[in-house]
């Protein structure tokens, strides 16, 4: 006795996968990255040591062709942020960058997953 198996729906699956791949490119992905970065940036600003406010004010989101980056900009107080983060032989560390990431990791992951899931539903419906 010979078993016969028949598959169907591959054209529809290919169409949905193509649509899904197009969803996760370009502007949409960058917007999702920025939304996650905003969460971390806000926490960094809350945790940054403040004497004059210059270090806190140097924290920004920047973008280049590789992605979104969060942290102090070069120049002024931003150039000295690593001294606060890691300390020196004369100054105790007052970390704020890594703690901001650690404190917001679940929220950022949830935000990205929520957007990704919404995009999957959009791409695969109908």
Q: Is residue 64 part of a domain?
A: yes
Q: Which of 113, 108, 23 lies closest to 61 in space, CA to CA?
A: 108
Q: What is the pTM assigned to this prediction?
A: 0.75
Q: Whats the size of the chain, residue-wise?
A: 126
Number of separate domains in the chain: 1
Q: Is residue 19 part of a domain?
A: no
Q: Is residue 63 part of a domain?
A: yes
pLDDT tens string 46-92? 999 988 889 999 999 998 888 889 999 887 788 889 999 999 999 99
The most confident of 13-17, 35-39, 75-79, by mean pLDDT: 35-39
Q: Which helix (H) or strand (E) holds 119?
A: helix 97-124
Q: Which residue range is the domain that position 35 belongs to?
A: 29-124
Q: Is residue 88 part of a domain?
A: yes
Q: Is residue 92 part of a domain?
A: yes
pLDDT tens string 86-114? 999 999 999 999 999 999 999 999 998 88
Q: Is residue 13 part of a domain?
A: no
């Amino acid at each position: 006795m010979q078993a016969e198996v028949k598959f169907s729906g591959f054209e529809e699956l290919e169409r949905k996968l193509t649509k899904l791949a197009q969803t996760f490119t370009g502007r949409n992905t960058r917007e999702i990255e920025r939304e996650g970065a905003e969460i971390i940036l806000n926490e960094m600003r809350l945790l940054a040591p403040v004497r004059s406010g210059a270090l806190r004010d140097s924290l920004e989101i920047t973008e280049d062709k590789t992605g979104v980056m969060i942290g102090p900009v070069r120049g002024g107080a931003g150039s000295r942020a690593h001294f606060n983060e890691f300390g020196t032989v004369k100054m105790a560390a007052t970390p704020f960058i890594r703690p901001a990431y650690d404190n917001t990791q679940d929220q950022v992951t949830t935000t990205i997953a929520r957007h990704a899931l919404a995009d999957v539903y959009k791409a695969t419906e109908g």
